[in-house]
Amino acid sequence: MLLGCIGDDFTGSSDLANTLSKQGMRVTQYSGVPTGPADAGVEAGVVALKSRSIPAKDAIAQSLAALDWLKAQGCTQFLFKYCSTFDSTPEGNIGPVAAALAQALDARKVVVCPVFPGAGRTLYQGHLFVQDRLLNESGMEHHPLNPMTDADIRRFLARQTDMKVGHVGFAAVRQGADAIAEALTRADAEGARLIVVDALSDADLMEIGAALDGAPLVTGGSGIAMGLPENFRRKGLLSGEGSAWQGVEGACVVLSGSCSTATRGQVARHREAGLPLFEINADDAVAGRLDAQEIAAWALAQAARPLVFSSADPEEVRRAQNTHGRETVAAAIETLFAAIARALVAGGVGRLVVAGGETSGAVVEGLDLTSLEIGPEIAPGAPALRTVAAGGRPLALALKSGNFGGVDFFAEADAVLRGH
Ligand SMILES: Nc1ncnc2c1ncn2[C@@H]1O[C@H](COP(=O)(O)OP(=O)(O)OP(=O)(O)O)[C@@H](O)[C@H]1O
Ligand SMILES: O=C(O)[C@@H](O)C(=O)CO
């Protein structure tokens, strides 16, 4: 294994795995830190954690355990993947985890670059944009777990860590790899250890990637990985073999615990199409009034692709959080989705489409899936995944980040997961 990656959530990890796979690396995504060695031939390993919204000290401990495992697999470069909208709070976890990994690797000039142009996330003068809006006016200010209220990533990161934060602006980035490398060296000489780097396009990310040849630690969204495989390829280290994808027949069920704008549009499209749906009410989930077995049985009895969702608008999310507490309601809904997924797999479901990073983490952990093969891209940042579930049956999955995918994502995912 050459490149060792640590993702702070499950959908984000599959986004990263997708980028690396498209750039020609043989990638496997692991659910949590594996207990045994990786299969031979894996060139990039992505350890998916559910560490985005847990206490910072736990996120650090899990990330360091992942680092140890990846080191033991022979990796020479490490990548910490977080959200392209920098989802975190002033307490962390991006700064604390990046700083802990930098200490453990004795790494300097650690790039911080959440940019993902394919999803409209760009960084200019240290400020993060989602399409043409600043991060804090993009809808992310209403996120249920990590409301993002500051678009200045330099300032926000500096609140999370004592490590000095630097910046490489677009003026250097537009001049290409050598200028970027020089600017990183200057920032390092000024004492900065975590360095926020502007980027507007995939071409910028390729140049940044070239400048990071041999850098022990890189951090960012999936875009920062775009230019890294080429460094290994140039040295003749990649096999050039892609992975063969096979779809899975049988029933397809969509589970959505994401309340993000894009997901709510996808739920609305499903409703308009007259497809079967079951709405999970937050109060019922907290009170334990919903039976996962019954919901799964209902879903498996549908002739057309059913949707089970708790996705609600920001006002309803706020009401539920004020009534029950943010963590209580999130935990109740995530536990319920995990139980529904287990019942669906026991009932022989072939394809699961899951919307929401936390929700996907709960489902993958609930199903006890240890490793996932990466298949074709469904939408930017969302690949098809395949695994063997309990009972030895194949299961195809799509784990969609909240704000990814067009309005028809559920139908598109169903088709790609089926393989034709
Ligand atoms: N109706 C609801 N009321 C309150 N909280 C909810 C409701 N529905 C879902 N949640 C919780 O909101 C959180 C949504 O986070 P999740 O990561 O799954 O989606 P997302 O934030 O849209 O996706 P991503 O993290 O990929 O951007 C989960 O913890 C979920 O349990
Ligand atoms: O980077 C992104 O936007 C996604 O991969 C993600 O992490 C959202 O959960």
ipTM: 0.96
Whole-number Å distance between alpha carbons of 354 and 254: 6
Query: Ligand 1 mean position to 51 CA, how many Å?
Result: 15
Output the pLDDT for position 312. 97
Total-model pTM: 0.91
Number of residues that this document lists for the chain: 420
Shortest-distance ligand to the CA of residue 266: 1
Q: Residue 410: count other Cβ atoms within 10 Å of its Cβ.
A: 24
Q: Residue 222: count other Cβ atoms within 10 Å of its Cβ.
A: 32
**Residue 23 carries which DSSP code?**
T
Cβ of 192 below 6 Å from ligand 1: no
Query: Ligand 2 mean position to 93 CA, how many Å?
Result: 14
Question: Could you tell me if 365 and 32 are in contact, meaning their C-beta atoms sit under 8 angstroms apart?
Answer: yes
Cβ of 358 below 6 Å from ligand 1: yes
Query: Ligand 2 mean position to 250 CA, how many Å?
Result: 29
Output the pLDDT for position 245. 82
Cβ of 204 below 6 Å from ligand 2: no
Cβ of 310 below 6 Å from ligand 1: yes
Shortest-distance ligand to the CA of residue 16: 2
Nearest ligand 1 atom, CA 331: 31
Shortest-distance ligand to the CA of residue 357: 1
Show contacts of 369-373: CB within 8 Å, 24+ apart. Answer: 369/31, 369/395, 370/30, 370/31, 370/32, 370/34, 371/28, 371/29, 371/30, 371/31, 371/34, 372/14, 372/17, 372/28, 372/29, 372/30, 372/31, 372/397, 373/28, 373/243, 373/245
Whole-number Å distance between alpha carbons of 42 and 186: 36
**Degrees, nearest 5: CA angle 271-277-282:** 105
Whole-number Å distance between alpha carbons of 292 and 300: 12
Whole-number Å distance between alpha carbons of 414 and 304: 11
Cβ of 221 below 6 Å from ligand 2: yes
Query: Ligand 2 mean position to 76 CA, how many Å?
Result: 24
Nearest ligand 2 atom, CA 14: 5
Whole-number Å distance between alpha carbons of 154 and 159: 9
Whole-number Å distance between alpha carbons of 198 and 164: 17
Shortest-distance ligand to the CA of residue 119: 2
Give nearest CA residue, ligand 1 atom 29: 330
Nearest ligand 1 atom, CA 12: 26
Output the pLDDT for position 241. 75
Residue of 258, 283, 363, 400 to test ligand 1 pocket, by largest number of atoms within 8 Å of CB: 258
Query: Ligand 1 mean position to 358 CA, how many Å?
Result: 7
Whole-number Å distance between alpha carbons of 301 and 293: 12
Cβ of 357 below 6 Å from ligand 2: yes
Pull the structure tokens for residue 319: 């009401």
Residue of 333, 365, 400 to test ligand 1 pocket, by largest number of atoms within 8 Å of CB: 333
In this structure, is the dihedral angle defined by the CA atoms of residues 269, 271, 277 and 278, taken in order, positive or negative?
A: positive
**Within the chain, which residues score under 70 in pLDDT?**
242-243
Q: Tell which residue, 176, 187, 175, has the closest CA to residue 112.
A: 187
Whole-number Å distance between alpha carbons of 406 and 409: 5
Output the pLDDT for position 252. 98
Residue of 11, 256, 385, 399 to test ligand 2 pocket, by largest number of atoms within 8 Å of CB: 11
> Which neighbouring-strand residues pair with 4?
45, 78
The gap from C-alpha 399 to its chain's centroid, in whole angstroms, comes to: 9
Cβ of 333 below 6 Å from ligand 1: yes
Cβ of 7 below 6 Å from ligand 1: no
